[in-house]
């Protein structure tokens, strides 16, 4: 089996669902269920014996030791993190605790587990760390996209904490020989995306008749990747990545925020027109910019394509249409996440885990 951490969050849940749709290898899913974790993302697995969910913290060494000894996973995929830049600006402490201390504790527990494995299992073992393009900092408008050799120049508490975790993972390979792989991915979008991030926020606010907040001039550029393409890249790196290497994952889709928001508005105008006949674009509002806002991210994903033959399956046009449709078809998911009702359920269901 594999151990997935943070598998109740946006990307982790998509990864677990995709994994079990494609193979029969069981998943042990360890997630703290912070505000961003939602066990309802995994409802379709409630009767599936291949999926075991444990509520817990990657910084809890005792729990980690117990789970690793009991389940003996052949690989760990580490998604668990605090992931929202704006939250990291308001309160960086949790980011240091989970992204830095948590990754450190997980690495130490995994190192102990891995050291004690029989030779063949030891050889086959993998620790895959899921990271972000934000560790590379910001790009000038005409600069080439980030390659894996780009300097680390993180600018936010979030990206600095992820950069620190990447360095720990690298060091555990060079110092202890731990068989690690790191992926640095661009901005994801798709189903189960918590509606505090740009794309789901815009869809949800548009439908609720609320303002669509654009930070500053809205000309900041992100490189968007459909979440299931990120999941397929991780599966491929886990399967065939070279030990100790990092792989950039991206969708070759650079867009300014304002253009993304306008596109979502036009899709909603087509799929769920406003009652008054106006465009959802009328709800766009410019608000104060984020402090230290990175101007541009862009990923050069050629190494992953060249070495492992991976390419995204979705274009932005197909992926964003699927995403908007998913939100239109899942109003109950949005309502649950917004009301916090799912957290009450979690408390009831997992208080003894």
Q: How far apart are CA 213 and CA 190, in angstroms?
A: 20
Looking at beta carbons only, is 83 or 283 nearer to ligand NAD? 83
Q: Least distance in Å: CB of 176 to ligand TYD?
A: 31
Q: Least distance in Å: CB of 278 to ligand NAD?
A: 31
Chain residues that interact with ligand NAD, rule: CB under 6 A = 5-6, 8-12, 30-34, 36-37, 57-59, 79-83, 98, 102, 130, 132, 162, 185, 187-188, 194
Give yes or no: 247 in active site: no
User: Which partner, ligand NAD, ligand TYD, none, binds residue 194 by CB below 5 to 8 Å per kind?
Assistant: ligand NAD
Give yes or no: 215 in active site: no
User: Which partner, ligand TYD, ligand NAD, none, binds residue 98 by CB below 5 to 8 Å per kind?
Assistant: ligand NAD
User: Which partner, ligand TYD, ligand NAD, none, binds residue 139 by CB below 5 to 8 Å per kind?
Assistant: none
Looking at beta carbons only, is 246 or 283 nearer to ligand NAD? 246
User: Which partner, ligand NAD, ligand TYD, none, binds residue 220 by CB below 5 to 8 Å per kind?
Assistant: ligand TYD
Give the pairing type, strands 221-226 and 254-256.
antiparallel
User: Which partner, ligand TYD, ligand NAD, none, binds residue 299 by CB below 5 to 8 Å per kind?
Assistant: none
Q: Least distance in Å: CB of 343 to ligand TYD?
A: 21
Quick one: how many helices (H) and strands (E) in the chain? 14, 12
Distances (CA, A) of 119 to 62, 76, 114: 25, 18, 10
Q: Which of 110, 147, 112, 116 shows the shortest CA–CA distance to 129? A: 110
Residue 299 CA to its chain's centroid (Å): 16
Q: Least distance in Å: CB of 215 to ligand TYD?
A: 4
Q: Of the residues 31, 57, 136, 158, which is catalytic?
A: 158
Is the separation of the CB atoms in 31 and 55 below 8 Å? Answer: yes
Q: Least distance in Å: CB of 4 to ligand TYD?
A: 21
Give yes or no: 134 in active site: yes
Q: How far apart are CA 329 and CA 324, in angstroms?
A: 9
Looking at beta carbons only, is 25 or 86 nearer to ligand TYD? 86
**What is the per-residue burial (b if ≥16 Cβ within 10 Å, else e) of 334-349?**
bebbeeeebbeebeee
Chain residues that interact with ligand TYD, rule: CB under 6 A = 85, 187, 197-198, 201, 213-215, 220, 222, 257, 290
Cα angle, residue 133 at apex, residues 154 and 38 outer, rounded to 5° = 105
Q: Which of 67, 64, 62 shows the shortest CA–CA distance to 52? A: 67
Q: Of the residues 31, 57, 82, 133, which is catalytic?
A: 133
Q: Of the residues 134, 223, 254, 300, which is catalytic?
A: 134
Q: How far apart are CA 11 and CA 80, in angstroms?
A: 10
Q: How far apart are CA 166 and CA 58, in angstroms?
A: 16
Catalytic residues: 133-134, 158
């Amino acid at each position: 089996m594999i151990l997935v951490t943070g598998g109740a969050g946006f990307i982790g849940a998509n990864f677990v669902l995709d994994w079990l749709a494609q193979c029969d290898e069981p998943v042990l899913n360890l997630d703290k269920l912070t505000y961003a974790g939602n066990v309802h993302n995994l409802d379709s697995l409630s009767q599936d014996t291949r999926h075991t969910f444990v509520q817990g913290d990657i910084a809890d060494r005792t729990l980690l030791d117990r789970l690793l000894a009991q389940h003996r996973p052949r690989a760990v995929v580490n998604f668990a993190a605090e992931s929202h830049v704006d939250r990291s600006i308001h309160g960086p402490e949790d980011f240091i605790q989970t992204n830095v201390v948590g990754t450190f504790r997980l690495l130490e527990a995994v190192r102990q587990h891995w050291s004690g494995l029989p030779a063949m299992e030891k050889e086959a073992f993998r620790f895959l760390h899921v990271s972000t393009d934000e560790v590379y900092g910001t790009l000038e408008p005409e600069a080439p996209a980030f390659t894996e050799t780009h300097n680390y120049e993180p600018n936010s508490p979030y990206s600095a904490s992820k950069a620190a975790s990447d360095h720990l993972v690298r060091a555990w390979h060079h110092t202890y020989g731990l068989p690690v792989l790191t992926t640095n991915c661009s901005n994801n979008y798709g189903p189960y995306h918590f509606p505090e991030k740009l794309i789901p926020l815009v869809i949800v606010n548009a439908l609720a008749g609320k303002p669509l907040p654009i930070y500053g001039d809205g000309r900041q550029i992100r490189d968007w990747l459909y979440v299931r393409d990120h999941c397929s890249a991780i599966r491929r790196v886990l399967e065939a990545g070279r030990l100790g290497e990092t792989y950039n994952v991206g969708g070759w889709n650079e867009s300014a925020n304002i253009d993304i928001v306008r596109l979502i508005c036009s899709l909603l105008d087509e799929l769920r027109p406003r009652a008054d006949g106006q465009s959802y674009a009328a709800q766009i509002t410019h608000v104060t910019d984020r402090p230290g806002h990175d101007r541009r991210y862009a990923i050069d994903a050629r190494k992953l394509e060249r070495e492992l033959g991976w390419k995204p399956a979705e274009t932005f046009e197909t992926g964003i249409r699927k995403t908007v449709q998913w939100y239109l078809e899942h109003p109950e998911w949005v309502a649950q996440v917004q009301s916090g009702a799912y957290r009450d359920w979690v408390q009831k269901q997992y208080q003894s885990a």
